[in-house]
Amino acid sequence: MSKPKMPTFYRGKYGLWRLIYILIFGVLLSAVLFTYYFIYQNIYSAIANANAVTSIKSNLNIYNLDIPAFEKAAAAINKKQIREEFPPNIRNIFFYSSNSVATPTSTST
């Protein structure tokens, strides 16, 4: 008794075209996956390099810094971090007492 042959996918009238299609599809899929992998591996270094190029092109150096403004800002930050104590007898700005005196005025003659 002979074993039945299993049909292969590349036999038949369009078998060669099927094989070419599968090869092209595999090449395209591998190109997409390689592109994704390349972008995933190099995106952070590309951002860092772009940042470095931007910094170099801006010609920033120590002589461009405004030292008095920097010292003023540092003093303001230090002053902001000091806690101030409020007095216990602070005025309640939401309480309005009626301390005005209303006097009738008449202009009758």
Tell me the per-residue pLDDT of 78-95, one tens digit each, with 9 for 90 and over: 999 988 888 888 887 887
Q: List the one residue out of 28, 30, 29, 11 whose CA is nearest residue 19.
A: 11
Per-residue pLDDT at 32:
98
Tell me which residue range forms the domain holding 45: 15-81
Measured distance CA(31)–CA(24) in Å, rounded: 11
**Number of domain units in the chain:** 1
105 is a domain residue: no
Amino acid letter, 52: A
pLDDT confidence of residue 4: 61
Rg of the chain taking only CA atoms, in angstroms: 41
Mean pLDDT of 96-108: 67
Would you say residue 28 lies in a domain? yes
**Would 1 be classed as within a structural domain?**
no
The CA distance from 8 to 20, in Å, is 15
Q: Give the pLDDT score at 80.
A: 92
Mind listing the pLDDT tens digit for each residue in 4-39? 665 565 567 788 888 899 999 999 999 999 999 998
